[in-house]
Copies of this chain bind each other. A is one copy, B any other.
Amino acid sequence: MSEQAALFDLTLTEEQRITRESMQRFAESELKSISRESDENGSTPEGFLDKTVELGLSLIPIPEALGGAGMPRSPISNALNAEDLGKGDFSLALAAVTPLAFINTVIDNGTEAQQEKYLSPLASESFVAATIAFMEPKATFEPTEPETKAEKSSKGYVLNGVKTNVVLASTAEYILVIAQETGGNVEAFIVEKGANGLSIESKKNMGLRPIETCTVTLENVEVAANAKLGEGEKSFNLDKFIALSRLGTCALSLGTCEAVLEYVTEYANERIAFGEPIAYRQSVAFMIANMAIELEGMRLMVWKAASRAEQGMDFYRDAYLAHVLCAEKTMEIGTNGVQILGGHGFIREHPVELWYRNLRAVGILEGCASI
């Protein structure tokens, strides 16, 4: 990651500015436009994921030698992209950045050989799915203590456990399974498509309906020894992974909150009640003011943590606090978005109820969208 900057600065680089513009255009034309339909159908429209290839999300960080663009790992750029895409649609954006999360994690934790083996196929002209299996179906699931087990065997490792909310699992070429190595640390293992003992079931949630969120069951799934990311001293950094994932989820949600804020701002100015636009009422106006205040505060928190990550500084506390704030405030923005529209907000004709359902994911998702 790049060198430390000298001054506090919120200015985008020219490259970031240009990228943001195209991300925003794409989000508007390719995500927002199909958001409602995808939610109603509970499926990703055909061709959508392939279309995201033009954004080059997966290509950017893959080393040139492996067919990628070989750009340096940039959590800040990833966060900006996630924010812009998340404004179009939280779920579709999450699907779009899922292979990137896999790639980022392999780059951060894998050996050169592993990068070569697993990243080359992802540097493709068409959309190649790869994903990470982290969460487990428990109310008290503790990210720092996953219960999926990896047992050392003669051939490598044997994996057992159940993972949930694995995005794109059924089409993924690779699933990076985070598991507790018996007698060791929490490690990351790459399981290839169709492995024996791997079963994948698509599940639906309150939100995230357009995309595949799967329960992945591992029953004595065998992987080779070199399927474990890293080697020797350099093995999987769980804390960093959790922090980068939380930042990814937060960044996506910033975009969604922006969408809410824009929508209700317009609505409140247009909707007449008691003879005046409802925006003239302090109760409505202050809800909107608070959306703007909290959104800006969250954005700065996410940017700070991502920028620290990019500069190679410790950023776990920053990411943790950003996530605490986003879990609370994005849901507040989601529910107030519906409130401002009143009964209309509850109807699926308007998008605010969809944002409400998607934003409930922010405090729940772990291990997705690692930036």
Contacts and interface: CB of A to CB of B under 8 A. Distances in A.
A282 B283 CA distance: 6
Contacts of A283: 282-283, 286
Contacts of A281: 282
Interface string A266-309: 00000000000000011100100000000000000000000000
Contacts of A286: 282-283
Assembly stoichiometry (copies): 2
A285 to B, nearest CB: 9
A282 B286 CA distance: 10
Nearest to A286: B283
Interface string A96-137: 000000000000000000000000000000000000000000
Interface string A136-151: 0000000000000000
A283 B284 CA distance: 10
A281 B286 CA distance: 12
Interface residues on A, range: under 10
Interface in A237-291: 281-283, 286
A283 B282 CA distance: 6
A98 to B, nearest CB: 40
Interface string A60-95: 000000000000000000000000000000000000
Contacts of A282: 281-283, 286
A286 B283 CA distance: 8
A277 to B, nearest CB: 14
Interface in A315-356: none
A290 to B, nearest CB: 11
A289 to B, nearest CB: 10
A282 B281 CA distance: 7
A162 B347 CA distance: 60
A129 to B, nearest CB: 46
Nearest to A283: B282
Interface in A193-210: none
A251 to B, nearest CB: 32
A7 to B, nearest CB: 37
A281 B283 CA distance: 9
A156 B60 CA distance: 79
A282 B285 CA distance: 10
A281 B281 CA distance: 9
A283 B281 CA distance: 9
A37 to B, nearest CB: 38
A53 to B, nearest CB: 49
Interface of A: 281-283, 286
6 contacts: A281-B282, A282-B282, A282-B283, A282-B286, A283-B283, A283-B286
Q: Which 6 A-B pairs have the closest CB atoms?
A: A282-B282, A282-B283, A281-B282, A283-B286, A283-B283, A282-B286
